[in-house]
């Protein structure tokens, strides 16, 4: 499972800070200011950033915005057409089982990180879910646990780091993966690395099987996109980048607190 | 990939639905400021229960119809929210929504109205033109054009609801984004300056003509109809008027206006006032308001009782947990509108190169940081846009500010509307975008063609099954 995702994450982490250094000041010099400039609205001593109610620390904004556009185009020309093809050739119950299967593998991440945060109330239902769904639920293809009042929890290493007090760090838009920040991108790297180590424990004839490759290199990314409703530029706002940045960041804050 | 899928559903509610809502209903309920609470959940449930009982008694003999929910008690309950702020934000509870048959989804298509128009790279995603949707029949049928509300496009939830309703009633349906939506401004607006009824109607008619032409070989149309909700209903009135004055009109057979403003100018004032009801320090208090919302959402999705956001009653459940005050609800609605005027002002400014919030000499690119412009545009109301840009633009045509205010009122074409038997109106007595006296103004124009429901706020009861049935019946009867 050293998928492209893991690698591109690492590459992005290396590249982004460098590219970010090239970020230019927001207003080119010598240009006439607009009729309603920001300075008109600032209270005494207030900074421009403070005047924006949805500002998020984003020192690499220009690079992030460029990657946001790349992601939107990748979505439009590659990712969504593939997902749509997948949707049209598979019946809904099959797609649900595929999602269940990958979600079940994710329980390992949730369990580990619930433990790392000392959250017994999340760790124990997650453990039971994994055991029940992996057995009665046929390797996770079905989700009987949800019917037993064991709802899915959601923890990852980014949340664990946040729980122990680590801040967001700079906002990052990762290629293909999308919005993140330095802490959560690092956390995702750790989670994926853990998954990879665990999957190495499978017998080698399983891992050498073509089916195994198709599963983790093909079906997994397709299902991941399939499970997301978000469509680029469907907000109809020229400020979509700013809005997504804000909502994602707040959403992570809520998850870390819970 | 795991991360991406976790992150892409902020607050569990998909962003496109939360953010661009205006003149539709905001889909998140905000928190109560400390101490000021609306009815408790228990009170609310009790109220709903009582209403349901009351409904049973009052509607004995009411024949259930195809769109009614299966639950008999629910099918006879009246609209449950007498508070227009709650109705507008929460909408119709799932068990009272019309049951529409499963049908095909609307198909999207793009239309290049101005081939070769220079579109700034920052709007690269509109290069394909105006995006609209169609939902067509196999057999000859009437075709209904539907115009979206403020800042909404063909994918808005209310548009999809209307499409499914009309399609189930046997019509071809064409969904058109609002002329106030950035996509329309950039690709189909001839002035980049939406809000003028006559100008917007001219642009809409050109779009409708082009779509008609495109569909001509594919479907058989027995009659053309027109509808719209909120600002889209206001547009529909001007479109019907402009069409009738043309040499070769489409000739709309039936027109239905759903929750229109009477005077766009009045409604703008109402909406601006709403925003500030829950913001005692004005827009500068917005970050505090949003921070409080985050706190309360964190509480609402607490660890031992996670909310299932995929449920049908997400907003209702949030409302019941958070019990926001009317002030918070009003601010939520005002904020949804403000976000669309923010989008509108910025888009109009960039396309016109007015140098209003965006420097005239600067190129708008996808990599351009926009924080400062967002901060400014959020502080500007539609009234600022009207006074600073709109009046200036139309002064060239010899129109004064007062002329423009007069022309933003349906009474400007009221004499004509009054005489058109094919144009009807559905609205709510407690619609929050109507200023005092506006409802009377609408009644004066439409007379017995006005159907006024007592409750529902602004668009809150559009999914309520008797309303859906009424809309369906208007076009099929």
Q: What is the pLDDT of residues B182-193, one digit of tens each?
A: 999 999 999 999
Which two structure tokens, joined as six digits, stand for B81? 């929210």
Nearest to A230 by CA among B25, B51, B15, B58: B15
Give me the count of residues in chain B: 477
- Cβ-nearest to B284 among A43, A228, A243: A43
State the Cα–Cα distance between residues A187 and A191, nearest whole angstrom. Answer: 6
- Cβ-nearest to A238 among B8, B306, B347: B347
**pLDDT the model gives residue B317:** 76
What ipTM score was computed for the predicted complex, to two decimals?
Answer: 0.83
Contact across the interface for A239 and B2, Cβ inside 8 Å: no
Q: Is the pLDDT of residue B27 over 70?
A: no
Residue of chain A nearest B7, judged by CA positions: A248
Round the average pLDDT of chain B to a whole number and report it. Answer: 83
State the Cα–Cα distance between residues A112 and A156, nearest whole angstrom. Answer: 8
Mean pLDDT over B162-169 rounds to: 95
Nearest to B196 by CA among B403, B420, B456: B403
In this predicted model, which residue has the larger pLDDT, A149 or B180? Answer: B180
- In 10 A of CB A93, how many CB atoms? 10
Contacts of A184 in chain B (CB under 8 A): 3, 7
| C-alpha pair distances (Å), B364 with each of B124, B375, B385, B428 | 10, 17, 20, 41
State the Cα–Cα distance between residues B71 and B64, nearest whole angstrom. Answer: 10
| C-alpha pair distances (Å), B140 with each of B105, B137, B212, B224, B240 | 19, 7, 14, 12, 23
**pLDDT the model gives residue B39:** 36
State the Cα–Cα distance between residues B212 and B147, nearest whole angstrom. Answer: 15
State the Cα–Cα distance between residues A114 and A118, nearest whole angstrom. Answer: 6
Q: A101-121: buried (b, 16+ CB within 10 Å) or exposed (e) per residue? A: bbbbbbbbbbbbbbbbbebee
**pLDDT the model gives residue A29:** 57
DSSP B465: H
Residue of chain B nearest A58, judged by CA positions: B369
Domains of chain B, with CATH numbers?
Answer: 1-359+366-477 (3.40.50.1820)
**pLDDT the model gives residue A49:** 81
Instruction: Answer whether B99's CB lies under 8 Å from B70's CB.
Output: yes
User: Which residues are CB-neighbours of A245 under 8 A, at least 6 positions away?
Assistant: A54, A56, A58, A171, A179
Which two structure tokens, joined as six digits, stand for B65? 């119809």
Which tens digits make up the pLDDT trace of B207-237?
999 999 999 989 999 999 999 999 999 999 9
Contact across the interface for B8 and A28, Cβ inside 8 Å: no
Q: Is the pLDDT of residue B304 over 60?
A: no
State the Cα–Cα distance between residues A63 and A72, nearest whole angstrom. Answer: 14
Residue of chain B nearest A33, judged by CA positions: B359
In three-state secondary structure terms, B278 is coil
Which tens digits make up the pLDDT trace of B262-273?
999 999 999 988
Contacts of B309 in chain A (CB under 8 A): none
Residue of chain B nearest A219, judged by CA positions: B1
Alpha helices in chain A (DSSP H): 4-20, 48-51, 61-74, 80-89, 92-116, 120-135, 157-163, 182-199, 204-207, 210-213, 220-226, 240-257
State the Cα–Cα distance between residues B442 and B396, nearest whole angstrom. Answer: 31
**pLDDT the model gives residue B291:** 82
Contacts of A258 in chain B (CB under 8 A): 298, 301-303, 306
Beta bridge partners, B134, equal B107, B174
Q: Is the pLDDT of residue B60 over 50?
A: no
Contacts of A225 in chain B (CB under 8 A): 4-5
Contacts of A27 in chain B (CB under 8 A): 359, 362, 372
Instruction: Answer whether B155's CB lies under 8 Å from A234's CB.
Output: yes
Nearest to B425 by CA among B407, B443, B406: B443
In three-state secondary structure terms, B109 is strand
- Cβ-nearest to A35 among B355, B370, B372: B355
Residue ranges for chain A with pLDDT beneath 50: 1-25
Residue of chain B nearest A178, judged by CA positions: B4
Q: Indicate the pLDDT class of residue B141, thresholds 50, 70 and 90.
A: very high
Contacts of A33 in chain B (CB under 8 A): 359
Which two structure tokens, joined as six digits, stand for A243? 């809005």
Q: Is any Cβ of chain A less than 8 angstroms from the Cβ of B105? A: no
Which tens digits make up the pLDDT trace of B307-361?
444 456 777 777 877 788 888 888 888 888 889 899 999 999 999 999 999 999 8
Contact across the interface for A38 and B355, Cβ inside 8 Å: no
Contact across the interface for B355 and A27, Cβ inside 8 Å: no
Chain B interface disruption, residue of A237, A241, A249, A257, most B CBs within 10 A = A237
In this predicted model, which residue has the larger pLDDT, B396 or A1? Answer: B396
Which two structure tokens, joined as six digits, stand for B383? 């009234």
If you average pLDDT over each of B74-88, B270-284, B414-428, which comes out highest?
Answer: B414-428
DSSP A47: -
Residue A126 to chain B, least CA–CA distance (Å): 13
Region of residue B230 (left: phi > 0; alpha: psi -120 to 50; beta: else): left
Q: Is any Cβ of chain A less than 8 angstroms from the Cβ of B4? A: yes
**pLDDT the model gives residue B302:** 53
Residue of chain B nearest A228, judged by CA positions: B5
Contacts of B10 in chain A (CB under 8 A): 244, 247-248, 250-251
Instruction: Answer whether B212's CB lies under 8 Å from B218's CB.
Output: no
State the Cα–Cα distance between residues A122 and A155, nearest whole angstrom. Answer: 9
State the Cα–Cα distance between residues B70 and B55, nearest whole angstrom. Answer: 15
Q: Is the pLDDT of residue B180 over 80?
A: yes
| C-alpha pair distances (Å), B55 with each of A243, B61, B82 | 42, 12, 14
Question: In what helix (H) or strand (E) does residue B141 lie, and over which residues does it extend?
Answer: strand B141-147
**pLDDT the model gives residue A23:** 42
Mean pLDDT over B26-37 rounds to: 34
Contacts of B297 in chain A (CB under 8 A): 254
Q: Indicate the pLDDT class of residue B159, thresholds 50, 70 and 90.
A: very high
State the Cα–Cα distance between residues B309 and B30, nearest whole angstrom. Answer: 16
Q: Is the pLDDT of residue B79 over 50?
A: yes
Q: Is any Cβ of chain A less than 8 angstroms from the Cβ of B23? A: no
Residue B375 to chain A, least CA–CA distance (Å): 5
Nearest to A20 by CA among A70, A64, A71, A72: A64
Q: Is any Cβ of chain A less than 8 angstroms from the Cβ of B314? A: no
User: Rounded to two decimals, what is the model's pTM?
Assistant: 0.84
Torsion of CA B182, B183, B189, B193, to 10 degrees: 0
- Within 13 A of A109's CA, how many CA atoms are on the CB side? 28
Contact across the interface for B1 and A3, Cβ inside 8 Å: yes
State the Cα–Cα distance between residues B224 and B214, nearest whole angstrom. Answer: 15
State the Cα–Cα distance between residues A52 and B377, nearest whole angstrom. Answer: 10
Question: In what helix (H) or strand (E) does residue B252 lie, and over which residues does it extend?
Answer: strand B252-258
Contact across the interface for A185 and B3, Cβ inside 8 Å: yes
**pLDDT the model gives residue B421:** 95
Round the average pLDDT of chain A to a whole number and report it. Answer: 83
- Cβ-nearest to B372 among A48, A185, A220: A48
Q: Is any Cβ of chain A less than 8 angstroms from the Cβ of B151? A: yes
Q: B373-394: buried (b, 16+ CB within 10 Å) or exposed (e) per residue? A: bbbbbbbbbbebbbebbbbebb
| C-alpha pair distances (Å), B463 with each of B204, B329, B397, B468 | 26, 20, 42, 6
In this predicted model, which residue has the larger pLDDT, B358 or B4? Answer: B358
**pLDDT the model gives residue B41:** 36
* Residue matched to tokens 């009815």: B39
Chain A interface disruption, residue of B318, B336, B367, B392, most A CBs within 10 A = B367
Q: How far apart are the first and last CA of chain A?
A: 29
**pLDDT the model gives residue B397:** 82
Strands (E), B148-249: 172-176, 221-229
Q: Is any Cβ of chain A less than 8 angstroms from the Cβ of B372? A: yes
């Amino acid at each position: 499972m050293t998928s492209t995702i893991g690698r591109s994450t690492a590459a992005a982490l290396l590249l982004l800070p460098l590219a970010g250094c090239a970020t230019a000041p927001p207003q080119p010099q010598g240009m006439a200011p607009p009729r309603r400039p920001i300075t008109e609205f600032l209270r005494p001593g207030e900074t421009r950033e403070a005047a924006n109610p949805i500002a998020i620390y984003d020192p690499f904004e220009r690079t992030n915005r460029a990657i946001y556009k790349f992601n939107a185009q990748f979505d439009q020309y590659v990712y969504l057409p593939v997902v749509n093809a997948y949707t049209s050739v598979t019946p809904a119950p099959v797609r649900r089982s595929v999602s269940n299967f990958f979600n079940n593998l994710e329980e390992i991440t949730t369990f580990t990180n619930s433990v790392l945060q000392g959250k017994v109330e999340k760790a124990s239902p997650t453990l039971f879910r994994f055991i029940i769904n992996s057995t009665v639920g046929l390797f996770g293809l079905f989700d009987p646990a949800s019917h037993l009042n064991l709802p899915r929890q959601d923890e990852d290493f980014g949340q664990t780091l946040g729980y122990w007090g680590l801040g967001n760090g700079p906002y990052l838009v990762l290629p293909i993966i999308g919005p993140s920040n330095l802490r959560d991108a690092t956390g995702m790297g750790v989670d994926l690395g853990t998954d990879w180590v665990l999957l190495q424990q499978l017998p080698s004839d399983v891992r050498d099987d073509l089916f195994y490759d198709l599963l983790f290199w093909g079906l997994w990314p397709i299902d991941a996109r399939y499970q997301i409703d978000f469509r680029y530029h469907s907000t109809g706002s020229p400020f979509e980048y700013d809005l997504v940045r804000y909502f994602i960041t707040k959403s992570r804050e809520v998850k870390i607190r819970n | 990939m795991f991360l991406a899928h976790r992150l892409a559903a902020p607050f569990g509610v998909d962003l496109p639905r939360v953010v661009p809502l205006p003149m539709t209903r905001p889909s998140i309920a905000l928190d109560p400021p400390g101490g000021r609470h609306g009815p408790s959940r228990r009170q609310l449930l009790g109220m709903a229960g009582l209403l349901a009982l009351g409904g049973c008694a009052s509607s004995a003999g009411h024949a259930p119809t195809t769109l009614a929910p299966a639950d008999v008690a629910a099918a006879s309950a009246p609209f449950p929210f007498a508070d227009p702020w709650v109705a507008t934000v929460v909408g119709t509870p799932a068990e009272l929504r019309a049951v529409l048959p499963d049908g095909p989804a609307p198909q999207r298509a793009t239309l290049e109205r101005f081939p070769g128009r220079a579109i700034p790279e920052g709007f690269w995603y509109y290069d394909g033109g105006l995006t609209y949707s169609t939902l067509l029949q196999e057999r000859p049928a009437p075709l209904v054009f539907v115009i979206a509300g403020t800042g909404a496009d063909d994918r808005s939830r209310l548009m999809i609801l209307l499409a499914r309703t009309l399609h189930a009633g046997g019509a071809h349906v064409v969904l058109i984004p609002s002329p106030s939506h950035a996509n329309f401004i950039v690709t189909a607006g001839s002035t980049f300056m939406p809000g003028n009824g006559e100008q917007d109607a001219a642009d809409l008619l050109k779009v409708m003509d082009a779509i008609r032409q495109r569909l001509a070989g594919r479907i058989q149309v027995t009659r053309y109809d027109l509808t719209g909700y909120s600002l889209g209903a206001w547009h529909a009135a001007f479109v019907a008027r402009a069409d009738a004055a043309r040499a070769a009109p489409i000739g709309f057979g039936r027109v239905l206006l759903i929750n229109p403003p009477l005077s766009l100018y009045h409604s703008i004032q109402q909406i601006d006032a709403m925003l500030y009801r829950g913001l005692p320090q004005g827009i500068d208090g917005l970050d505090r308001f949003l921070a409080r919302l985050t706190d309360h959402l964190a509480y609402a999705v607490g660890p031992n009782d996670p909310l299932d956001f995929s449920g049908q009653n997400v907003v209702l459940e949030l409302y019941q947990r958070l019990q926001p005050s009317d002030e918070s609800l009003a601010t939520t609605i005002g904020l949804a509108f403000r976000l669309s005027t923010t989008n509108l002002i910025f888009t109009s400014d960039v396309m016109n190169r007015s140098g209003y919030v965006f420097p005239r000499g600067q190129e708008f690119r996808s990599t351009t940081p926009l924080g400062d412009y967002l901060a400014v545009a959020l502080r500007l109301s539609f009234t600022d846009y009207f006074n600073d840009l709109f009046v200036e633009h139309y002064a060239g045509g010899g129109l004064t500010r007062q002329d423009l205010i007069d022309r933003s009122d349906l009474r400007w074409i009221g004499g004509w509307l009054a005489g058109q038997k094919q144009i009807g109106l559905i609205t709510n007595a407690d619609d929050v975008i109507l200023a005092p006296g506006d409802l009377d103004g609408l009644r004066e124009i439409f007379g017995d063609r006005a159907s006024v429901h007592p409750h529902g706020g602004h668009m809150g009861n559009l999914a309520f099954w008797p309303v859906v049935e009424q809309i369906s019946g208007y076009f099929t009867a």
